[in-house]
Amino acid sequence: MTPEPFGARLRHAMDTRGPLCVGIDPHASLLTSWGLNDDIAGLERFTRTVVEALADRVAVLKPQSAFFERFGSRGVAVLEKAVEEARAAGALVLMDAKRGDIGSTMGAYAATYLDKDSPLFSDAVTVSPYLGFGSLRPALDAAAVSGAGVFVLALTSNPEGAEVQRATAADGRSLAQVMLDHMAAENAGATPLGSVGAVVGATLADAGADLAVNGPLLAPGIGAQGATPADLPRVFGASVGNVVPSVSRGVLRHGPDASGLREAAGRFADEVRTAVSEG
Protein backbone atom coordinates (compact mmCIF):
# COMPACT_ATOMS: atom_id res chain seq x y z
CA MET A 1 0.00 0.00 0.00
CA THR A 2 1.44 3.35 -1.05
CA PRO A 3 1.89 5.67 1.94
CA GLU A 4 0.30 9.11 1.93
CA PRO A 5 2.96 11.61 0.82
CA PHE A 6 4.46 13.93 3.40
CA GLY A 7 3.35 17.03 1.51
CA ALA A 8 -0.31 15.99 1.78
CA ARG A 9 0.05 15.11 5.47
CA LEU A 10 1.79 18.40 6.20
CA ARG A 11 -0.87 20.42 4.38
CA HIS A 12 -3.57 18.74 6.46
CA ALA A 13 -1.65 19.33 9.70
CA MET A 14 -1.09 23.00 8.86
CA ASP A 15 -4.76 23.49 7.98
CA THR A 16 -6.05 21.81 11.14
CA ARG A 17 -3.40 22.63 13.75
CA GLY A 18 -2.00 25.86 12.33
CA PRO A 19 1.19 26.43 10.34
CA LEU A 20 3.76 26.29 13.13
CA CYS A 21 6.88 24.26 13.77
CA VAL A 22 8.36 24.25 17.28
CA GLY A 23 11.98 23.28 17.68
CA ILE A 24 13.21 21.03 20.48
CA ASP A 25 16.66 22.48 21.18
CA PRO A 26 17.91 21.34 24.60
CA HIS A 27 21.09 23.37 24.76
CA ALA A 28 22.86 23.84 28.07
CA SER A 29 21.70 27.41 28.79
CA LEU A 30 18.07 26.50 28.19
CA LEU A 31 18.25 23.49 30.49
CA THR A 32 19.75 25.75 33.15
CA SER A 33 16.99 28.34 32.71
CA TRP A 34 14.47 25.55 33.34
CA GLY A 35 16.26 24.67 36.58
CA LEU A 36 17.62 21.44 35.10
CA ASN A 37 21.11 20.02 35.10
CA ASP A 38 22.97 19.75 31.81
CA ASP A 39 22.98 15.96 31.95
CA ILE A 40 20.96 13.04 30.67
CA ALA A 41 18.33 13.43 33.39
CA GLY A 42 17.87 17.09 32.49
CA LEU A 43 17.67 16.19 28.81
CA GLU A 44 15.01 13.57 29.46
CA ARG A 45 12.91 15.89 31.62
CA PHE A 46 13.14 18.77 29.16
CA THR A 47 12.30 16.66 26.13
CA ARG A 48 9.43 14.82 27.77
CA THR A 49 7.90 18.10 28.94
CA VAL A 50 7.99 19.66 25.47
CA VAL A 51 6.55 16.58 23.77
CA GLU A 52 3.78 16.13 26.33
CA ALA A 53 2.86 19.82 26.18
CA LEU A 54 2.86 20.33 22.42
CA ALA A 55 2.73 17.12 20.38
CA ASP A 56 -1.06 16.94 20.46
CA ARG A 57 -1.54 20.47 19.15
CA VAL A 58 1.26 21.80 16.91
CA ALA A 59 1.68 20.73 13.31
CA VAL A 60 5.42 20.00 13.48
CA LEU A 61 7.99 19.33 16.18
CA LYS A 62 11.62 19.74 15.11
CA PRO A 63 14.23 18.14 17.37
CA GLN A 64 17.77 19.37 16.73
CA SER A 65 19.75 16.16 16.62
CA ALA A 66 23.07 17.69 17.72
CA PHE A 67 21.75 18.61 21.17
CA PHE A 68 20.92 14.95 21.78
CA GLU A 69 24.01 13.49 20.13
CA ARG A 70 26.27 15.45 22.49
CA PHE A 71 25.21 13.04 25.27
CA GLY A 72 26.23 10.00 23.21
CA SER A 73 24.12 6.86 22.97
CA ARG A 74 21.96 7.81 25.96
CA GLY A 75 21.08 11.10 24.31
CA VAL A 76 20.18 9.36 21.07
CA ALA A 77 17.94 7.01 23.07
CA VAL A 78 16.09 10.05 24.45
CA LEU A 79 15.72 11.33 20.89
CA GLU A 80 14.33 8.00 19.66
CA LYS A 81 11.68 8.01 22.39
CA ALA A 82 10.78 11.64 21.68
CA VAL A 83 10.27 10.91 17.98
CA GLU A 84 8.07 7.91 18.76
CA GLU A 85 5.92 9.72 21.32
CA ALA A 86 5.55 12.91 19.30
CA ARG A 87 4.37 11.01 16.23
CA ALA A 88 1.99 8.92 18.34
CA ALA A 89 0.41 12.15 19.64
CA GLY A 90 -0.20 13.38 16.08
CA ALA A 91 2.67 15.82 15.49
CA LEU A 92 4.79 15.50 12.39
CA VAL A 93 8.45 15.14 13.35
CA LEU A 94 11.06 17.00 11.32
CA MET A 95 14.53 15.82 12.27
CA ASP A 96 16.88 18.78 12.08
CA ALA A 97 20.08 16.92 11.20
CA LYS A 98 21.25 18.82 8.09
CA ARG A 99 22.90 15.72 6.64
CA GLY A 100 24.73 15.87 3.34
CA ASP A 101 27.20 13.51 1.69
CA ILE A 102 27.58 11.36 -1.41
CA GLY A 103 26.84 7.82 -2.50
CA SER A 104 26.55 5.09 0.10
CA THR A 105 27.10 7.54 2.97
CA MET A 106 24.08 9.60 1.94
CA GLY A 107 22.23 6.32 1.60
CA ALA A 108 23.09 5.48 5.20
CA TYR A 109 21.82 8.86 6.38
CA ALA A 110 18.62 8.23 4.43
CA ALA A 111 18.23 4.83 6.07
CA THR A 112 18.68 6.41 9.50
CA TYR A 113 15.90 8.98 9.19
CA LEU A 114 13.71 7.90 6.28
CA ASP A 115 13.41 4.11 6.59
CA LYS A 116 10.30 3.08 8.52
CA ASP A 117 12.23 0.29 10.23
CA SER A 118 14.72 2.74 11.77
CA PRO A 119 14.26 3.79 15.42
CA LEU A 120 14.92 7.37 14.28
CA PHE A 121 12.40 7.31 11.42
CA SER A 122 10.96 10.79 11.10
CA ASP A 123 8.29 12.39 8.95
CA ALA A 124 10.99 14.56 7.35
CA VAL A 125 14.67 15.47 7.67
CA THR A 126 16.75 18.54 6.82
CA VAL A 127 19.59 18.04 4.33
CA SER A 128 22.35 20.12 2.77
CA PRO A 129 22.60 20.18 -1.05
CA TYR A 130 25.92 21.93 -1.40
CA LEU A 131 27.75 18.80 -2.56
CA GLY A 132 25.42 19.09 -5.54
CA PHE A 133 21.69 18.50 -5.59
CA GLY A 134 22.22 15.10 -7.18
CA SER A 135 24.01 13.96 -4.02
CA LEU A 136 20.62 14.04 -2.28
CA ARG A 137 19.13 11.37 -4.53
CA PRO A 138 19.33 8.54 -1.95
CA ALA A 139 17.38 10.67 0.54
CA LEU A 140 14.84 11.82 -2.04
CA ASP A 141 14.23 8.26 -3.19
CA ALA A 142 13.97 6.89 0.35
CA ALA A 143 11.53 9.63 1.31
CA ALA A 144 9.33 8.87 -1.68
CA VAL A 145 9.13 5.18 -0.72
CA SER A 146 8.24 5.84 2.93
CA GLY A 147 5.95 8.84 2.43
CA ALA A 148 8.41 11.12 4.20
CA GLY A 149 9.71 14.58 3.34
CA VAL A 150 13.04 16.28 2.78
CA PHE A 151 13.79 19.92 3.60
CA VAL A 152 16.71 21.23 1.56
CA LEU A 153 18.83 24.17 2.72
CA ALA A 154 18.37 27.03 0.26
CA LEU A 155 18.63 30.50 1.82
CA THR A 156 19.51 30.09 5.46
CA SER A 157 19.18 32.64 8.25
CA ASN A 158 22.88 32.71 9.21
CA PRO A 159 24.81 35.62 7.63
CA GLU A 160 27.70 33.35 6.55
CA GLY A 161 25.40 31.38 4.27
CA ALA A 162 25.30 34.14 1.67
CA GLU A 163 28.88 33.57 0.48
CA VAL A 164 27.81 30.18 -0.88
CA GLN A 165 24.07 30.53 -1.42
CA ARG A 166 24.24 33.92 -3.18
CA ALA A 167 27.21 32.93 -5.35
CA THR A 168 26.45 32.92 -9.07
CA ALA A 169 26.32 29.79 -11.20
CA ALA A 170 27.59 29.73 -14.79
CA ASP A 171 24.11 30.52 -16.15
CA GLY A 172 23.72 33.60 -13.94
CA ARG A 173 21.39 32.11 -11.35
CA SER A 174 22.36 32.17 -7.69
CA LEU A 175 23.29 28.76 -6.28
CA ALA A 176 20.26 29.02 -4.02
CA GLN A 177 18.03 29.52 -7.07
CA VAL A 178 19.62 26.49 -8.75
CA MET A 179 18.68 24.42 -5.72
CA LEU A 180 15.17 25.88 -5.58
CA ASP A 181 14.66 25.06 -9.24
CA HIS A 182 15.70 21.46 -8.56
CA MET A 183 13.15 21.31 -5.75
CA ALA A 184 10.42 22.66 -8.02
CA ALA A 185 11.23 19.94 -10.54
CA GLU A 186 10.98 17.25 -7.83
CA ASN A 187 7.57 18.60 -6.75
CA ALA A 188 6.12 19.07 -10.24
CA GLY A 189 2.50 17.90 -10.39
CA ALA A 190 2.19 17.13 -6.68
CA THR A 191 -1.05 18.08 -4.93
CA PRO A 192 -1.89 19.65 -2.59
CA LEU A 193 1.80 20.17 -1.78
CA GLY A 194 5.05 18.51 -2.78
CA SER A 195 7.17 16.65 -0.25
CA VAL A 196 10.48 18.37 -1.00
CA GLY A 197 10.69 21.56 1.00
CA ALA A 198 13.12 24.45 1.12
CA VAL A 199 14.71 26.05 4.17
CA VAL A 200 14.50 29.84 3.79
CA GLY A 201 15.27 32.13 6.71
CA ALA A 202 12.49 34.40 7.94
CA THR A 203 15.20 36.91 8.90
CA LEU A 204 16.15 37.66 5.31
CA ALA A 205 15.60 41.25 4.22
CA ASP A 206 14.77 40.00 0.74
CA ALA A 207 14.71 36.40 -0.45
CA GLY A 208 15.80 37.55 -3.91
CA ALA A 209 14.72 34.22 -5.38
CA ASP A 210 11.72 32.45 -6.85
CA LEU A 211 10.30 30.47 -3.94
CA ALA A 212 7.45 28.87 -5.89
CA VAL A 213 8.69 25.29 -5.50
CA ASN A 214 5.23 23.73 -4.96
CA GLY A 215 6.51 22.51 -1.61
CA PRO A 216 6.69 23.67 2.00
CA LEU A 217 9.03 26.47 3.03
CA LEU A 218 10.55 25.99 6.46
CA ALA A 219 11.23 29.45 7.88
CA PRO A 220 13.60 29.50 10.86
CA GLY A 221 14.32 32.74 12.65
CA ILE A 222 10.96 33.58 14.22
CA GLY A 223 11.28 34.74 17.81
CA ALA A 224 14.73 34.92 19.41
CA GLN A 225 16.53 35.47 16.09
CA GLY A 226 14.54 38.62 15.48
CA ALA A 227 11.92 37.82 12.83
CA THR A 228 8.20 38.02 13.56
CA PRO A 229 5.17 36.45 11.90
CA ALA A 230 4.40 39.87 10.41
CA ASP A 231 7.63 39.62 8.36
CA LEU A 232 6.51 36.49 6.51
CA PRO A 233 4.49 38.13 3.65
CA ARG A 234 7.41 40.44 2.86
CA VAL A 235 9.98 37.64 2.68
CA PHE A 236 7.85 34.94 1.04
CA GLY A 237 5.42 36.92 -1.11
CA ALA A 238 2.91 34.82 -3.01
CA SER A 239 4.32 31.61 -1.49
CA VAL A 240 3.52 32.65 2.09
CA GLY A 241 0.66 30.14 2.29
CA ASN A 242 3.20 27.30 2.12
CA VAL A 243 5.42 28.65 4.88
CA VAL A 244 6.05 26.62 8.04
CA PRO A 245 7.51 29.15 10.50
CA SER A 246 9.92 27.60 12.97
CA VAL A 247 10.11 28.87 16.55
CA SER A 248 12.39 27.42 19.22
CA ARG A 249 13.51 29.67 22.07
CA GLY A 250 10.51 31.95 21.58
CA VAL A 251 8.35 29.09 22.86
CA LEU A 252 10.80 27.06 24.94
CA ARG A 253 11.77 29.97 27.19
CA HIS A 254 8.24 29.80 28.63
CA GLY A 255 8.95 26.40 30.19
CA PRO A 256 9.19 24.35 32.27
CA ASP A 257 5.50 24.98 32.89
CA ALA A 258 3.51 23.09 30.26
CA SER A 259 0.75 25.69 30.17
CA GLY A 260 3.35 28.37 29.41
CA LEU A 261 4.63 26.34 26.47
CA ARG A 262 1.12 25.78 25.14
CA GLU A 263 0.16 29.43 25.47
CA ALA A 264 3.30 30.62 23.70
CA ALA A 265 2.85 28.13 20.86
CA GLY A 266 -0.80 29.07 20.50
CA ARG A 267 0.06 32.75 20.40
CA PHE A 268 2.64 32.27 17.66
CA ALA A 269 0.23 30.09 15.66
CA ASP A 270 -2.47 32.77 15.85
CA GLU A 271 -0.02 35.48 14.79
CA VAL A 272 1.10 33.38 11.82
CA ARG A 273 -2.51 32.78 10.73
CA THR A 274 -3.18 36.49 10.86
CA ALA A 275 -0.03 37.38 8.93
CA VAL A 276 -0.68 34.78 6.23
CA SER A 277 -4.34 35.79 5.79
CA GLU A 278 -3.45 39.46 5.54
CA GLY A 279 -0.49 38.81 3.27
Give the chain's residues under pLDDT 50. none
Q: Which of 62, 81, 98, 116 is catalytic?
A: 98
Can you tell me the distance from the alpha carbon of 114 to that of 109, in angstroms, rounded to the nearest whole number? 8
Question: Is 81 annotated as catalytic?
Answer: no
pLDDT tens for 153-189 read 999 989 899 999 999 999 999 999 999 999 999 999 9
| Residue 89 exposed, middle or buried by CB count within 10 Å (0-12, 13-18, 19+) | middle
DSSP state letter for 240 = G
Q: Would you say the C-alpha torsion 152, 76, 120, 253 has a positive or negative sign? A: negative
DSSP 8-class letter at 141: H
Predicted confidence at residue 278, as pLDDT, reads 78
Q: Look up residue 97 and give its amino acid.
A: A
Residue count (the chain): 279
Look at residue 107 in the predicted model and tell me its pLDDT. 98
Nearest to 51 by CA among 258, 224, 264, 222: 258
Over residues 214-258, the pLDDT tens digits come to: 999 999 998 878 889 999 999 999 999 999 999 999 999 999 999
3-state helix, strand, coil in the chain (%, to 5): 50, 15, 35
**Separation of alpha carbons 31 and 44, rounded Å:** 10
